[in-house]
Structure 1
Amino acid sequence: MSKRVFIDGEAGTTGLQIVERLRRVDGVVVQSLDLHARKDNAARRAMMASVDLVVLCLPDEAAREAADMVEGLGSAAPRLLDASSAHRISRGWTYGFSEMAPEQPQSIAQAARVSNPGCYPTGAIALLKPLVEAGLVPADFPITINAVSGYSGGGKSLIADHNNAGGPAFELYGLSLNHKHVPEIAHHAGLARRPLFVPSIGHFRQGMLVSVPLHLDALPGRPTAREIECALVDRYDGATQVKVRMTPAEQRLDAEGAAGSDVMELFVFENEAESQAVLVARLDNLGKGAAGAAVQNIGLMLGLDARSAAAGKVAMHA
């Protein structure tokens, strides 16, 4: 029997991508409300009660209200996947980064409520969590995270600015150093000290680089870049959507290099003579950073064949 999924907020960038992907997945039927009914709470509630899974693609406050609506359905409540940042460190919610820990896929598969990770945190956590757990980077070490994303993750206004007026070539933002993703990164990477996170937007539609510079000789034990790389390889051995790559010979990375893919690539660059390294995650902010991760989690939550869920991937090049 097919599983029924309702995307609450399907008209947004992430919602549209999830709907398009799910329509290519065997065993899933996407249920939709008419345009005039999408803000009718009675219609939304009835739809939620009729499906197996609800995916929230809403602003944070609206996502909290929708989650409360689902909770109010009692025994008729469907399972819930939240693509907003409202519940990523909330008690009672399972974090939907399936490669984060060996037990995570099973936790997601069994959870009633799953929070889809943020795009920047996906890259940062993938790089840092294995190193903290291996003892190579202390939990209280001062960490700096720099990142650049394509403009498609910035909402309708930013997308319109870049599509219609050209947009700035590059801009830093979040310079209050209080970006909403910081608690998520710290919590799930196992950091005891708040990292310094500087995000930016480039004038390209999609793709992302997340980088973490390290003075290796300032770390306890003075680990080598090779030891760091081995810790990442050990963690993601066998993972289909997270891959540790060899350092490119040209010592350069294109932020658009993973656009259209659901695979996140991890790299370790080093200057051995100066005992310095830069760890880099490259991913698609709309793929593994959003809709791709959501479809992966939906597959786990609904018990779909992994190959069927993967078939939901669509080309997302601009």
Structure 2
Amino acid sequence: MAARIFIDGEAGTTGLEIRERLAGRTDVELVAIAPEQRKDRNAKKEILSSVEVAILCLPDDAAKETVALCDALGEAAPRILDASTAHRVAPGWVYGFPELCPGQPEAISKAARVANVGCYASSAIALLRPLIDAGLLLADHPLTINAVSGYSGGGRQMIEAYEQGVAPAFELYALGLEHKHIPEIMAYARLAQRPLFVPSVGNFRQGMLVSIPLLLETLPGRPKAADLHDAYARHYLGAAHVRLCEAPQNGKLDALALNGSDDMEVYVFANENRRQAVLVARQDNLGKGASGAAVQNLDLMLNGGEF
């Protein structure tokens, strides 16, 4: 029997991408609300009580309102997969990054409420958590995280500027240093010191590179680049959607190379003579960074932890 799924906010970028990924599947039945009823609480409650999983592709405040409606349904409430920022570090929610650590796929599969990852956050956590777990990086190490995304990852105003052809070729933003992904990066990478996070957007629709520079002499045990590489190899052994790749000899990475994919690539670029390294994660910010991750989490929720 097909699982009934409701995408609340299906008209937005993430909702449309999720719907496209689920279209044609026989194991799910997509349930929609009439456009004129989207703000009708009773109509939405009726739909929520009739489905197995509600996927929230909404602004944070609207996501919280839908969760409140689910709370009011009691035992009739569906399981929730929230793609907003609203619940990523909230008590009672499981973080939707299956590659985070052993046991995370099973935790997602059993959870009543799953918070889908943030795009920048998933890449930063993918780079940092394995090294912290391996003891190669201290939780209070001073870190700088640099990132570039396509305009689809920069929010409504940036998307509109890009679509209207008035966006700059390259733009730094969030220079008030309060980007909303920082709390989840700290929580799930297990950081004890707030990183300096500098995001940017390029004049392309989608694609993402997140990079973290490291001075190897400042790390515990003064590791070599090969030690970092080995930590990633162990952590992501058997992972379906995150893979360790050899750094290309030309020292270049194309931010758009994984567009249309739901995978992430992890790289270690290093100069042993200089004792410097740059960690890089590459993904499609609409794929593994958003809708692809949501479908991966949904599959875990529906299939009992198979991963």
Q: Same fold (TM over 0.5)?
A: yes
2:150 maps to 150
2:253 maps to 253
2:146 aligned counterpart, secondary structure: strand
> What are the residue-to-residue correspondences of 1:11-90 with 2, within 5 Å?
11-90=11-90
1:68 aligned counterpart, secondary structure: helix
C-alpha spacing 1:306/1:106, structure 2 compared with 1 (3 Å) = closer
Confirm or deny: 8 A CA contact 2:106 2:305 kept in the other structure: no
Amino acid at match of 1:112: A
RMSD of Structure 2 on Structure 1 (CA)? 1.3
Confirm or deny: 8 A CA contact 1:23 1:29 kept in the other structure: no
Amino acid at match of 2:42: A
> What are the residue-to-residue correspondences of 1:1-318 with 2, within 5 Å?
1-303=1-303
Amino acid at match of 1:77: A
Residues 21-59 of structure 1: CA deviation (Å, up to 9, x unaligned): 112323100000111011111111110000000000000
Residues 182-221 of structure 1: CA deviation (Å, up to 9, x unaligned): 1110100000111110000100110000000000001121
Cα distance in structure 1, aligned partners of 2:70 and 2:81:
11
C-alpha spacing 1:305/1:135, structure 2 compared with 1 (3 Å) = closer
Residues 209-240 of structure 1: CA deviation (Å, up to 9, x unaligned): 00000000011210111100100010000111
Cα distance in structure 2, aligned partners of 1:156 and 1:140:
34
Identity %: 56
Confirm or deny: 8 A CA contact 2:109 2:304 kept in the other structure: no
Unaligned runs of 5+ in 2: none
Cα distance in structure 2, aligned partners of 1:122 and 1:248:
22
Confirm or deny: 8 A CA contact 1:177 1:197 kept in the other structure: yes
How many residues get paired? 307
Cα distance in structure 2, aligned partners of 1:127 and 1:24:
34
Cα distance in structure 1, aligned partners of 2:71 and 2:283:
34
Cα distance in structure 2, aligned partners of 1:266 and 1:37:
43
Residues 133-188 of structure 1: CA deviation (Å, up to 9, x unaligned): 11100001001100000001233432221121241000111111111111110100
2:282 aligned counterpart, secondary structure: strand
Confirm or deny: 8 A CA contact 1:247 1:268 kept in the other structure: yes
Output the TM-score relative to the length of structure 1: 0.94
Higher mean C-alpha deviation, range 203-212 or range 153-162: 153-162
Deviation, 1:305, is 9.8
Confirm or deny: 8 A CA contact 2:109 2:305 kept in the other structure: no
1:199 aligned counterpart, secondary structure: strand
1:310 maps to none
1:146 aligned counterpart, secondary structure: strand
Higher mean C-alpha deviation, range 91-100 or range 153-162: 153-162
Cα distance in structure 1, aligned partners of 2:283 and 2:25:
22
Runs of 4 or more off by more than 3 Å in structure 1?
304-307
Cα distance in structure 1, aligned partners of 2:173 and 2:296:
30
Residues 248-300 of structure 1: CA deviation (Å, up to 9, x unaligned): 11110011111111110000000111100000000000000000000000101
